[in-house]
Structure 1
């Protein structure tokens, strides 16, 4: 590795991202001839490397897609395989619109296969993020011991943990999903920057992967020094918030409550009702713990997976998937989320309920669907903590959190105190309403071991129209664990495919 230069060709599917933006961000005179060991000595280059790791989370723009295998897929970019929409269209939150282009239909129809790269590119893109996070860690000893070095390490380990968590919940069983989940196949927890590694196996079980994630996040939360005002990087509040999510999935409800309370004590704002729409229609960070920056220059099209044509003022929206009548009606007219998330509009004579949550940044003047991704919001932390509190018998805390959240969503609103099943049902209802179209619904079914049952509705606003062929997915279905891409197994024969594929 001594003579390796910054322009690296990645051979492994784990790091298919090729560190492309790191090449730009570490740009020096004749950078393609500049040894990476020399580049990674200045504080400025370490900062830029961390920025590159955050940037990779959103994926690449359509203009850059295709330069690398699977590079057009990934986290939140483009239409096919976009992680914002996949958890909705695989469940009861969305209905296929016959007026759309048919994007993501394979995932909608649960036709997952190892050879079908169009379902999702999360596997390769998340490992590209991990590679970028590990790169500054490889050279961390080039920095003098001190606050800057510790903060760089904390950022890198938080990003690494977040990406591994996104992978393990998608491609593996979730600990609360079934009794055998913790001992089942995990994923590699990659802690070293080695972009040409091809000898990788699934040597960890799910429980061990979660232990690694939590260890990284605990280091990060104890050492991060990012300003809480900078929502584009992990802060203590954001890391505690992510820990509340991880512990909830792990079934460690006491720690989920503790982490959630710590996050809320540092950042209690769930986004006020008066400014809530601006969270989605501008670059407002009200109630946001971590956002992934996006700009006209990057032009990463986040919302195109849902629709095309949703301008700031209304009009001629052509959606790929639309909101079913049953979900639309769960939002009362006094709920600000109804107009912030959805818009009823006619396209070629058919009126539909369209998702506009990721459509338009009116204030920033960016192109249609080029918006900043809200990776983690305080509202989710409230819901994580309320659910965990219910599980440990603290109904008082669960009610307090629910009422505080609902007071900023409904007007008028009067607090209520619920108990038992009624309280649980309200927690689940508010989770669905708050996190709809935000990378959650599929995982709620999966981690709770529930049957995914669609309603049989069609795309029309009255519920008529052609229903999905797939209506029911049982908890035992192996497709809850997505297939490992065949391209990865071809490059890395030791890598074991998930059962059922």
Structure 2
């Protein structure tokens, strides 16, 4: 972790030296190169940008067992329950017992800045070749990558603007815009300042990036629109969330058809995907996303099971129940296991799957919520968008007719069901200014068991400082200009 936090030269100059093709499975391991030799042609900039995409798989951004973004947003919240028959990984996150010295919660801080530094290395060297339309697109991709990684940092290590009345004026994060391993940046004075910078990068990227860039494994104009809808929703600027979200929906209207939905999670379909982190070529190196949820040991041995309260919200006619969960024994006890990251279709290699970073269905739900919260609410359009998602999830679907607060609550409920186990739940609870309240159920398939959360594991109060993760002490030791979050 120290190398990542120190932004060492070695770790930041690891790039693809084999050009990525548009084939989703043709993503090969990195080798090393240097700026003096790589920034000599337009095509080499593509190699470097693809290396920045690859860095999203660094431990523990979307890789590894402990603290990976694959599980972080759910284990901190109420979608999962710790299985005491597992290895107890991510326990500090589940127990909300993390400290600045914790090494077993998440390494997101260092991993995200690793992504950012690689994007900045591209942006710092744009003048090495003529600024063509090709290079304009390269700049757009790099700025979008930089913005996305900073957003993941600010929602974890700072308050969310809609979380509380003081959130926008509270400390932001260090927004790094140049590659300089010796730099010791301070945190932005406010969360609002950090969001300004994220949005500026994304809006500039939107003007420069190509409409398509060779598949869901690279950012493009549509995916940037989708990210803008997400970030404006978090900021509480609902008119902008609607504006950019509607443009994204027009460009990518499919929420993932019911007939394709299971195949999306088996990497046999890209339907409804806007940005995906492509995993390795199975025949090359079998890089897995880790076993944060479960592993195969005489059956499925889960670290965390689906909380029974959530499990019962998936009706039998909901295709997500098939795509996301399997009920199977470990030993003599049946459990509800998360299988979103288990395996590809027609493969026996476990956990070698792509990560769906952004999907169209989220944008539909972003815009539906924004329509309900805008200064001039439009419940009719909100309901229409919600029903578009539900239509492709439920067999023999009957359109909903909710109004008022019931409609807004239905949007929240559908978001939980749709984005479960996709690093959304905790951040949604946080941005809504709510408490985490876990159910009284145990980990067994029917909710029984003696391992139900109690006492301090049951509720994370609205005003808890633990909604904001601590800046790793190692990062502060390396950079004394960083201030720790209150309460740590």
> After TM superposition, is the score higher than 0.5?
yes
Q: Find the counterpart in structure 2 of residue 235 from structure 1.
A: 220
| 1:264 equivalent in structure 2 | 249
Task: Indicate the SS of the match to 2:229.
Answer: helix
Name the counterpart of 2:324.
341
**In structure 2, what is the equivalent of residue 373 of structure 1?**
355
Decide which of 361, 364, 370 is 2:344's aligned counterpart.
361
Structure 2 CA distance for partners of 1:11 and 1:320, relative to 1, 3 Å: closer
Q: Displacement of 1:58 after TM fit?
A: 1.6
Query: Residue 47 and residue 347 in structure 1: after superposition, are their counterparts in 2 closer, same or farther (change >3 A)?
Result: same
SS at match of 1:18: helix
Aligned 8 A contact 1:95 1:324 in 2 = yes
1:145-294 pair list within 5 angstroms = 145-197=131-183, 199-227=184-212, 230-294=215-279
> Counterpart in 1 of 2:404?
420
CA positional deviation for 1:416: 2.4
Give 5+ residue unaligned stretches, structure 2. 20-30
Matched position secondary structure for 1:344: strand
CA distance in 2, matches of 1:142, 1:49: 14
Q: Where does residue 6 of structure 1 map in the other structure?
A: none
Alignment of 1:421-440 (within 5 A): 421-440=405-424
Structure 1 residue 37: Cα displacement: 3.1
Deviations 1:40-92 (A, max 9, x none): 12112100000000010121xxxxxxxxxxxxx32111110111211111111
Aligned residues: 469
Aligned to 2:443: 459
Contact 1:303 1:371 (8 Å CA) reproduced:
no
State yes or no: 1:142 paired with 2:119. no
Helix, strand or coil: the match of 2:207?
A: helix
Give secondary structure in 2 for the equivalent of 1:291: strand
CA distance in 2, matches of 1:287, 1:426: 21
Structure 1: state its 5+ residue gaps. 1-8, 60-72
- C-alpha distance in 1 between matches for 2:17 and 2:52: 13
Deviation at 1:14, TM superposition (A): 4.8
- 2:335 matches 1:352: yes
Secondary structure in 1 matching 2:98: coil
Equivalent residue in structure 2 for 1:123, among 106, 109, 112: 109
* Cα shift at 1:241: 0.4
Residue deviations 1:199-235, cap 9 Å, x none? 2211331101000000110011111115166111111
1:22 to 15, 28, 43: 15
Residue 119 of structure 2 is aligned to residue 133 of structure 1:
yes
Q: Please, which moves more after superposition, 248-257 or 317-326? A: 317-326
Q: Shift of the alpha carbon at 1:13?
A: 3.0
Partner of 1:319: 302
- Structure-2 separation of matches of 1:237 and 1:135: 25
Structure 1 pair 181–412 and aligned structure 2 pair: CA distance change class (3 A): same
Q: Distance in 1 between matches of 2:62 and 2:9?
A: 16
Match of 1:301 among 279, 283, 288: 288
Q: Secondary structure at the match of 1:189?
A: coil
8 Å Cα contact 1:226/1:233 also seen in 2 = no
Q: Report the counterpart of residue 39 of structure 2 in structure 1.
A: 40
Could you tell me how far apart the structure 2 residues matched to 1:316 and 1:35 are?
46
- Report the Cα distance in structure 1 between the residues aligned to 2:246 and 2:428, rounded to whole angstroms: 21
For the structure 1 residues 11 and 353, does the alpha-carbon distance in structure 2 shift closer, same or farther, using more than 3 Å as the test?
Answer: closer
Aligned to 1:387: 369
Work out the CA distance in 1 between the residues paired with 2:145 and 2:3: 20
Could you tell me the TM-score, scaled by structure 1's length?
0.90
Q: Aligned partners of 1:280 and 1:443: how far apart in 2?
A: 22
2:25 is aligned to none
Q: Does 2:469 align with 1:482?
A: yes
2:22 match: none
Alignment of 1:102-117 (within 5 A): 102-117=88-103
Q: What is the RMSD computed on CA atoms of the aligned residues?
A: 1.9
Deviation at 1:316, TM superposition (A): 1.4
- TM, length-normalised to structure 2: 0.92
Match of 1:471 among 447, 458, 470: 458
Asked whether the equivalents of residues 16 and 128 of structure 1 are also in contact (C-alpha less than 8 Å), the reply is no
Deviates more, 1:378-387 or 1:201-210: 201-210
Contact 1:16/1:124, CA 8 A, preserved across alignment: no
SS at match of 1:57: helix
Q: Which moved further from structure 2: 244-253 or 138-147?
A: 138-147
- Give, in whole Å, the separation in 2 of the partners of 1:153 and 1:274: 37
SS in 1 for 2:70: coil
